[in-house]
Structure 1
Amino acid sequence: MDPSQVLDLNQTSTASFDAGYSILMVVVALALVFLNGFFVLSEFSIVKVRRSKLEEMVKEKKAGAKKALKVTSRLDTYLSACQLGITLSSLALGWIGEPAIAKMLEIPLINLGFSTVIIHTIAFIIAFSIITLLHVVLGELVPKSIAIAVADKAVLFIARPLHWFWILFLPCIKIFDFLAAISLKLFGIKPAKESELTHSEEEIKIIASESQKGGVLDEFETEIIRNAVDFSDTVAKEIMTPRKDMICLNKQKSYEENMQIICEHKHTRFPYIDGSKDTILGMIHIRDIIQNELSHKSQNLDTFVKPLILVPENISISKVLVMMNKERSHTALVVDEYGGTAGILTMEDIMEEIIGEIKSEHEEDSYKKLAENIYEFQGRCDIETVEEMLVINYDEDLEQVTIGGYVFNLLGRLPIVGDRIEDELCYYEVKKMDGNSIERVKVVKKTNKDEE
């Protein structure tokens, strides 16, 4: 065979080998793109999925649910595995993908007669652009969107292979986590633990509000969540019926007089006192009195007295609720720092803090709208309700918890009907008194026109 023919044959074989090798490397590069996408999908899905949803799927015995729950229960170490996988696949993609595509592009460019430098430059730019496009779109954006959209399904798909990868590279992951912790210490930063990756109370409220905007929750459900978040911060004295408003049955009154009190006020439970509200003997339920009336047994109220729970003014109502459930009592006596009666607290008062005001058919409205920015409130209406109705904000350090108490404090003396006073937010007028306390007060919100 002619030497020139042998040389041509060798060149053809080399070119064919180079083309075949380049195609193989391109296939490997595509595989690395999808591998990168797998780790991105894993990272976002294990963060996005709700643990409660996984627990539900475990109960339903869905395939992969147990493994997925195990993965999400050790979020910090599996996130490190995802980051390691993303880094390795990205580095390998840059090392293999760009040269392989550039090599394939150089073959047709040679026939155009360009110089070697120009051919390498053009091939590099095009190859780099293609690899970047594939990496960003298929390796990042698409898997991230899938994870966010169907996290519960995605996590079932990725859990087992991610666990295998984690086992394979566990020594490396441990070393990287250790080095990262040391690096953070140099900057005076404490590494975050999985248990610390929780939402604050304000964040929970924001999440609830955003869920309402998205149609996931309705207004009532959102309000319940917001109230529940604030529940443990509320103390007994803020929601109790104050001493002066307590309607009591009295041991020193006749049976008929006490029955008259029951008929007038239509409550189901009454504190039972011995002359003074500081001497409370217990609580009486009208059910027991009605049963007694039907059987005509006794006219001595002492036989119907049940013990009351005693709680301090500043105890959290969440603790009071636990005590009520434990003692099977619906009523607690709130005492002040001197041991005297401060007020009475019922389970209904506590539940209203979560689900909102529960109005009975005999109960008077706590506020009434008279006109735009003009309301008439009961004196015992809480400050938060006034703020909500008039869209205003009082000083956070305000000591008074009711609008009546606030106006009383503004006046600085015993109020009388017709008293008027103002602050930087509103005008106030005392409309009705109940002894020494304000029963109803008219509140007019100041406008920009008023201030001018």
Structure 2
Amino acid sequence: MAEMPFSFYLINGLVVLVLLGLSGLVSGSEVAFFSFSHNQIKEFTASADLKEQRISRLLHHPKRLLATILILNNLINIFIVTISTFATWQIVGPQGKQGLTIVILTSAITILIIFFGEIIPKVYANHNGTAFAKLTSSLLLISYKFFKPISWFLMSVTGLIERRMEKKGYNLSVEEINQALEISVEKEEVSEEEKGILKGIVNFGTLSVKQVMKSRIDITAIDRETHFHELMNQVNKTGYSRIPIFTETVDKVDGILYIKDLLPHIGEEEDFAWQELLRPAFFVPESKKIDDLFKDFQEKQVHIAVVIDEYGGTSGLITMEDVIEEIVGEINDEFDDDSDVAYNKLDNQTFIFEGKTSLNDFCKITDSDITLFDTVKGESESLGGLVLEMNTKLPSAGEKIRFLHFVFTVVAVDQRRIKRLRVYINSDKSNVAGFED
């Protein structure tokens, strides 16, 4: 083999250095271009700067831009390795120790590409995104057009694979995730409180406002025509920090009275126009998911919402505290009366519940699967409503309703609703006939 002149190796070395620099520019451009916010891109679109307009054009098709960057970067790195290997082969020759030389060369090139073609340019681009994007915009625009057929082909193949995977994909249900969670926590030292929080997070996106809200019958609201001193008496009795105000009927909520807005006016006369202190009410439908409501609360910076039914009537009330409690459990403040609990636990299998207790709360307290009642609950969201659905009529005190491994005994009832229930849960779920009375 004829020995190559020194200029051959010099040119190869310079070409490798230039390609290494290009590799760094292309790698850094990926970080620079995809770090811009939506507002920044809008500014680039409206800008008179040619380079900023170029950036905006490239980001108009982000997937194609990313494909172009990856194609260009891989081609450059392939050329670096190919040229370096060829030059080394010329130096060593066919009789040399090619195996060891190739290993050393590959290690050296890999280190150079990682540091000078990846890490350093990406760190720099992360701190100087706009300048770096402007620097590489011309190169990428040319490559964007040149590699259009290849990038289109790759994007088409990728899209086809994604669609096939989606068809064959396996979506885990909430029940399956909960079962996996049960298995996981059994193997770890996890407290009941931590377990409850984890379950709350898993179920958070599946709960609707109707399942969590305080029902209409339990709402504390004040008539708009109430005189100021009577208003103050009612406010003192309730202990709430926010109270809905209505005209004629609770279906016509005019706004929300924040008690902190009343504080500067405590000494006012009877005819004080307290109605001017009302803040606009935030209305939400029963079907809204509580994770979406949580985002709305944050965006609007409110902590209470009036729940309306399909006819526009007031269905209930829900607060930020109600939503958060679905994750962290019951939150007691200074106005919560610990003695007025919605349930009493008589033993591990027997409970006394208020009829208005939500099905969701009942299942959390008794560690039951809420899906057990899907076939019988109808539109009901409370424990009393569930029993009414199963019995088809208002039961009398002492009447028992059996379902699966549950026995519901009516403790107290009035003319319109079930007020209190005794619930017995058979621990032997396979022996539903062996209930105690």
Task: Rate the CA distance shift 1:324–1:298 in 2: closer, same or farther, 3 A.
Answer: farther
Which residue identity does 2:337 align to in structure 1? H
Correspondence for 2:421 among 427, 432, 441: 441
Whether the aligned pair in 1 keeps the contact of 2:246 and 2:252 (CA below 8 Å) is yes
2:203 counterpart residue number = 230
| Cα deviation digits, residues 390-432 of structure 1 (max 9, x gap) | 4544233433222111112233223454443333332222223
2:337 counterpart residue number = 362
1:123 counterpart residue number = none
Whether the aligned pair in 2 keeps the contact of 1:369 and 1:376 (CA below 8 Å) is yes
User: For 2:394, what is the secondary structure of its paired residue?
Assistant: coil
Whether the aligned pair in 2 keeps the contact of 1:205 and 1:225 (CA below 8 Å) is no
Distance 1:306 1:446 in 2: 50
Correspondence for 2:373 among 392, 395, 416: 395
| Percent identity of paired positions between Structure 1 and Structure 2 | 24
Q: Which runs of 5+ in 2 are unaligned?
A: 1-66, 71-109, 118-153
Larger Rg: 1
2:164 counterpart residue number = 190
Which residue identity does 2:225 align to in structure 1? Q
Task: Rate the CA distance shift 1:373–1:277 in 2: closer, same or farther, 3 A.
Answer: same
Name the one with the larger helix percent: 1
Correspondence for 1:410 among 368, 371, 390: 390
Normalized against structure 1, the TM-score is what?
A: 0.52
Paired residues in the alignment total 280
Distance 1:207 1:425 in 2: 24
Distance 2:252 2:244 in 1: 10
Distance 2:170 2:385 in 1: 42
Task: Rate the CA distance shift 1:265–1:430 in 2: closer, same or farther, 3 A.
Answer: farther
Whether the aligned pair in 2 keeps the contact of 1:208 and 1:217 (CA below 8 Å) is no
Which residue identity does 2:357 align to in structure 1? C
Whether the aligned pair in 1 keeps the contact of 2:283 and 2:308 (CA below 8 Å) is yes
| Cα deviation digits, residues 289-339 of structure 1 (max 9, x gap) | 233215669633312211111111101112212222222211111111111
Whether the aligned pair in 1 keeps the contact of 2:228 and 2:270 (CA below 8 Å) is no
Distance 1:301 1:417 in 2: 45
Which residue identity does 1:244 align to in structure 2? I
User: For 1:371, what is the secondary structure of its paired residue?
Assistant: coil
1:246 aligns with 2:219: yes
Which residue identity does 1:190 align to in structure 2? R
1:383 counterpart residue number = 359
Which residue identity does 1:240 align to in structure 2? M
Q: Which runs of 5+ in 1 are unaligned?
A: 1-73, 78-159, 168-177
Q: CA deviation at 1:282?
A: 0.9
Correspondence for 2:257 among 284, 305, 311: 284
Correspondence for 1:316 among 258, 282, 289: 289
Task: Rate the CA distance shift 1:211–1:295 in 2: closer, same or farther, 3 A.
Answer: farther
Whether the aligned pair in 2 keeps the contact of 1:240 and 1:349 (CA below 8 Å) is yes
Distance 1:297 1:288 in 2: 17
User: For 1:451, what is the secondary structure of its paired residue?
Assistant: coil
2:94 counterpart residue number = none
Which residue identity does 2:278 align to in structure 1? V
1:451 counterpart residue number = 433
1:335 counterpart residue number = 308
1:62 counterpart residue number = none
Aligned-residue CA RMSD (Å): 4.1
Matches within 5 A, 1:140-289: 190=164, 205=178, 208-209=181-182, 212-213=185-186, 215=188, 218-289=191-262
| Cα deviation digits, residues 420-451 of structure 1 (max 9, x gap) | 33333322222234662223211122465771
User: For 2:164, what is the secondary structure of its paired residue?
Assistant: coil
Whether the aligned pair in 1 keeps the contact of 2:227 and 2:271 (CA below 8 Å) is no
Normalized against structure 2, the TM-score is what?
A: 0.54
Distance 1:216 1:392 in 2: 22
Q: CA deviation at 1:208?
A: 5.0
User: For 2:251, what is the secondary structure of its paired residue?
Assistant: strand
